[in-house]
Structure 1
Amino acid sequence: MLSLRLPILLGLVVNLACAEVTLWVSPQGDDRNPGTEAAPVAGLPRAAELVRAVRAARPTEPVTVWLGAGDYPVLSTWILGEGESGTAAAPVTWRGVDRKRVRLVGARPVAKTSVRRVTDSALLKRMAPEAREKIVEIDLAAEGVRHAARFPDYLRDTADLCVLFHDGARLPLSRWPNGPYGYATMQRVLKSGHFKAGMPDGGVFEYAGDRPARWRVALAEDGVWLRGFWRVPWVAETLRVGAIDAEARTIAFAVSTSNGIGSKYSKLVDGNRVGDGKENWFALNLLEEIDQPGEWSVDFKRRKIYLLPPAQLGAGSLALADNDQPLLSFNAARFVTLRDVTLGRQMGDAVVITDGESVRLAGCRVDGVVRRGVVIRGGRNHVVQSCDLTEIGLAAIDLLGGDRQTLAPSGHQIVNNHIWRAALSAPVPALIAGLEVRTQQLVGARIARNRIHDVSYSGIHFAGNDNVLENNELYRLGLDGGDLGGLYTTGGWTSRGNVVRQNFIHHSENANAVYMDDGDSGLIVEDNLVYRTESGVFIGGGHDHLVRRNLIVACPRAFHVDDRGVARKYTADDPRLRGDLDSVPWREAHWRERYPALISLLDTDPAVPRGNLITGNVAVACSTFARRSGKPETLAGFAFADIRELVDLADLADPAALDFTPRSPAARAALTSLPPFDLSLYGLQVDEFRPVVAPREVTLLKTGDTKRKAFDSQQDVNAYPR
């Protein structure tokens, strides 16, 4: 069929658009059409066929594919590869006519016949009385849902479970206590369930109140799972319950964990951490706990969803996402742009870019994704620009690229993006740059002008070499985690050449603004503005950092430095750090020339920090300028110079209104050699793909910073005897 229509199509190109081929797609189109504005095709795969034909016939002409308004269901991954690629002179652009009205969606409507009233008396008895008459059931077998299997005994991140949407908004699994940050706490740990300590059975703890007694029928029929920060505030785990003793008020888990339950910082008694009574946990996916509009649970045995509708259910208002593969995959694609499109309602990742060159996402919105928003793996010069990413289960953006062996840069750019409400399902960073498990695989990327806020954990995790993080704005971080950073790295001894400059990190009292953790080395931190965070710059051991010309305001401490490597034995035999060192050719000429300080790393004990310079920084109204955690002789590798400290917040014009102009003569003198800290330097800006910049949510800034108590990362340093 294509061959019959191709001459007509190419004729239209010659007559109507000599400099550019234009194709049209619309949900109201027909795949038998030629793809003109008057006669668009209907499907994205059909449009891709036309692109391949045009590229083969007229490879020197750019191609623009216009996507008309409406929903484009993507129930299996839409793949764009080499055949759909352009060139630098003749790129291929897929463009929505209006971002708000052009949507690529992974969910499909639930058939009205699959939604029924609940009639099973045993189930009705288990429901909350106030919700009993309103809850409906959805038949997953009738819907052909594949991802509704019983949870495993242990889960770290997200379950392999279908997702329910109503009018485009993701609905939450039932949770007790209610709310996105609703938690109960353990009263006391009776058994840690630490399998490394030879405890094959799960942990046991005492709980307060009587609520878990309601779950005993669920325990017998389908299972009960609890998710919590059982040991440390940066690891959340979901564990299956083995037994509930309502009389003793104890819960026993069916599975042990690597380090058991009970705070790492509580007393050790007979091999068990007794806990501190602050370990947060909640119950999920329980029929008994559906009591808020929009909550739902899955009955694995019956293969049913039970839902308390958020509103009147209209035709097509409910949708299920059941595809765990990416919505859109660029496989070795080159010079392809996707712009002005919304992607979402998706169980798997939204967009994955693998290898290739110069793939660009611009002016797009990623909304309602259970896993990651945009994933970049390899390739060169990929760009995510002026996109909005929100309601994301894990990281909004996750990128790797470049070659650490040769130090060839990736050229990737993450610029002018607005990221908020990310990491909703697990305490992971909103933006991951160069970290995959414990490896670091990013060279020569630029992350700039992004606004990141209202996220569960850190803002940006980064590692690798020669990456630049600049002019970003981050606030309201760490809403559901602890021991984290606005800009965080734990790259190791070889993660060098990275620059953190002219960023604004504020209103995050549960976060260290810039955090170099566990021996990370060779970072330049300069010209940043920090306001109301746990620490300004936190250096956890490591070597050869340069920290200069930063303004740090109203923090408990401007700086923290420690010698943790001594107690933790960060020697040349440390598997993590030595493994990182041996993974790159650090003795070869190109590495020696680029990072000359690294060549002498093993000449002395690498557990002892050295070569760190902290100079020309200004602290205003911070309780402590610098906390030095360790022995003087092992902290000698931290040199403080040109210390400038002001006690009174009134020395600045109006920090509460984000005006950090020096007001007093002392402040003007202290800040004289620092750059201007103008709000226009940070975060979002107007460009071709972002015509308007949304104002900062000032009410959020004034109503508080986090919903959990601030965690001082020194607590983890103290956990290791010196």
Structure 2
Amino acid sequence: MIGKIQESGMAKEGKEAPFPVSGYQEERPSSWKSVENMWISGYFAHGYADDMICVESIDTIHKMIHTGQHTVYGFMTGAPWRQWFALNLLEELDGPGEYVIDAGRGKMYVYPLAGKMENWSVSLLEGPLLAIEHCKDVKVQGITFEYGRHIGVYMENTHRALIKNCIIRNMGGVGVSIGKGTLKAGNQRGHESGGNPASRVVGDLMGTVYQNILFNREGGTENGVVDCHIYNVGAGGISLGGGDRASLTPAGNYVENCRIHDYNRIEKSYRPGIWMVWVTASLNVTSMMRPAWLSCFMEITM
């Protein structure tokens, strides 16, 4: 549980806020000798917004955790969902399948699973495994995409591109992204700031669509993901953009007969199996919105 809040991390009176500082209630963190590569994850404020941030230091005298990053809604206490857990901490490497990464020294410590390990795979690739951009009539069929730190397949300004009968798995981000995402610049933080358009990322797209309901992802037209199996990905199955909301120009992008499961290994909130963002489609409804905690989050406009 999150204990006493010494610093929430939220700006006051227009000033830049310090990084959050929160208390812990258990005795175990006081025994940790080094937090050089430690991170904490959890629901630090609201039960719909998980985050993961690095730790700067632990004050064992006052039982306080000093973080090294901001989080969207800051830190709060007093609710049962406001909990945290530690990760990438060498002293807690005590179970099969766990690992710790020391990026500064280029080392990885692994507690192997029982039995013989046939393969070890470690990816350094931060971009998409496949990017299809500014082209038309491309068909990708029967290929397995795996072991990337970010997006499996990315499409931007494509027309009649088809991803068919493919397996997309073991990714750090979303399986398929059709259309641009956004990235925050400088000291931008949270949904109130949105982000700037960026290719080959999803980034802070959720924050952007709060602020700019006409944001055009340049997702192209008549692009499809068909008969694909997407699983063990870090941040949702398919991020489906397309169409122009300002002119109500339809995209015709689609997903058909795909099996999508185990898709929020890293980012646990607002990353559904299929997320449709400002997609104009030929449906017999004016608008439809389903909660983000369902398997499909849709905002569709005729």
Whether the TM-score (by the shorter chain) exceeds 0.5 is yes
Match of 2:125 in 1: 323
**1:214 offset after TM fit, Å?**
2.9
| 166, 171, 184: which one aligns with 1:369 | 171
Q: Which residue of 2 aligns with 1:349?
A: 151
Question: Mapping of 1:168-567 within 5 angstroms?
Answer: 185-196=1-12, 198=15, 200-215=17-32, 217-219=33-35, 222-257=36-71, 259-263=73-77, 275-276=78-79, 278-312=81-115, 317-377=119-179, 378-426=219-267, 427=269, 428-434=271-277, 440=278, 442-444=279-281, 484-488=293-297, 496-497=301-302
CA deviation vs aligned residue, 1:624-669 (integer Å, no higher than 9, x gap): xxxxxxxxxxxxxxxxxxxxxxxxxxxxxxxxxxxxxxxxxxxxxx
Which structure carries more relative contact order (alpha carbon 8 Å, separation 6+)? 2
Q: Is the 8 A contact 2:6 2:22 kept in 1?
A: yes
Distance 2:177 2:69 in 1: 32
Aligned partners of 2:287 and 2:256: how far apart in 1?
A: 13
- Shift in CA distance, 277/467, structure 1 to aligned 2, threshold 3 Å: closer
- Structure with greater helix percent: 1
Given that 1:386 and 1:417 are in contact with CA atoms closer than 8 Å, whether structure 2 keeps it comes out as: yes
Q: Secondary structure at the match of 1:288?
A: helix
The 8 Å contact of residues 188 and 277 in structure 1, kept in 2 or not, is answered as: no
Q: In the TM superposition, what is the alpha-carbon distance from 1:358 to its structure 2 partner?
A: 1.6
Identify the range of structure 1 (391-400 vs 345-354) with the bigger mean alpha-carbon deviation.
Answer: 345-354
Separation in structure 1 between the aligned mates of residue 34 and residue 243 of structure 2, nearest angstrom? 50
CA shift, 1:424, in A, is 1.7
Structure 2 distance, partners of 1:313, 1:253, is 38
Shift of 1:401: 1.3
SS at match of 2:30: helix
5+ long unaligned stretches in structure 1: 1-184, 264-274, 435-439, 447-464, 475-481, 498-722
- Superposed CA RMSD in Å reads 2.9
Q: CA deviation at 1:467?
A: 7.8
Cα deviation 1:550-570 (Å, max 9, x = unaligned): xxxxxxxxxxxxxxxxxxxxx
Distance in 1 (CA, whole Å) between partners of 2:145 and 2:70 is: 39
For the 8 Å contact 1:344–1:369, the answer to whether it is kept is yes
TM-superposition CA deviations, 1:580-611 (whole Å, max 9, x none): xxxxxxxxxxxxxxxxxxxxxxxxxxxxxxxx
Structure-1 separation of matches of 2:61 and 2:161: 60
Kindly tell me: are residues 346 and 204 of structure 1, through their superposed partners in 2, closer, same or farther at Cα, counting changes over 3 Å?
Answer: closer
Q: Contact conserved, 1:372 with 1:397, CA < 8 A, in 2? A: yes
CA separation in 2, counterparts of 1:291 and 1:345?
25
* Deviation of 1:292 (Å): 1.4
SS of corresponding position for 1:425: coil
Q: CA deviation at 1:281?
A: 1.0
Residues in 2 aligned to 1:336 and 1:301: alpha-carbon distance in whole angstroms: 40
CA contact (8 A) 2:162 2:224 kept: yes
Aligned residue pairs total: 259
How much has 1:362 moved relative to structure 2?
1.8
Structure 1 residues 435-472: Cα deviation after superposition (integer angstroms, max 9, x where no partner) = xxxxx3x21267xxxxxxxxxxxxxxxxxx96889xxx
Letter in 2 for 1:213: S
- The structure whose Rg is larger is 1
Gaps of 5+ in 2: 180-218
TM-score (norm 1): 0.33
Deviation at 1:258, TM superposition (A): 5.4
Matches within 5 A, 1:97-116: none
Alignment partners' CA distance in 2, 1:253 and 1:444: 44
- What's the offset of the Cα at 1:202? 3.0
Q: Verify the 8 A CA contact 2:37 2:102 in the aligned structure 1.
A: no
Contact 2:272 2:294 in 1 (8 A): no
Q: Secondary structure at the match of 1:335?
A: coil
Shift of the alpha carbon at 1:199?
7.2
Q: Residue 347 of structure 1: CA displacement?
A: 1.8
Q: Which segment is superposed worse, 374-383 or 388-397?
A: 374-383
Would the aligned equivalents of 2:274 and 2:297 in 1 still touch at CA under 8 Å? Answer: no
SS in 1 for 2:260: strand
**CA distance in structure 1 between the partners assigned to 2:128 and 2:295 by the alignment:** 28
User: How far is 1:486 from its partner?
Assistant: 4.9
> 1:28-75 deviations in whole A, cap 9, x for unaligned?
xxxxxxxxxxxxxxxxxxxxxxxxxxxxxxxxxxxxxxxxxxxxxxxx
Counterpart contact for 1:445–1:466, Cα < 8 Å: no
TM-score normalised to the size of structure 2? Answer: 0.75
Determine what percentage of the aligned residue pairs are the same residue. 24
Cα distance in 2 between the residues matched to 1:302 and 1:194: 33
SS in 2 for 1:213: helix
Q: In the aligned structure 1, how far is the partner of 2:95 from the partner of 2:263?
A: 22
Instruction: Note closer, same or farther for the CA distance 1:421–1:332 as it changes in structure 2 (3 Å cut).
Output: same
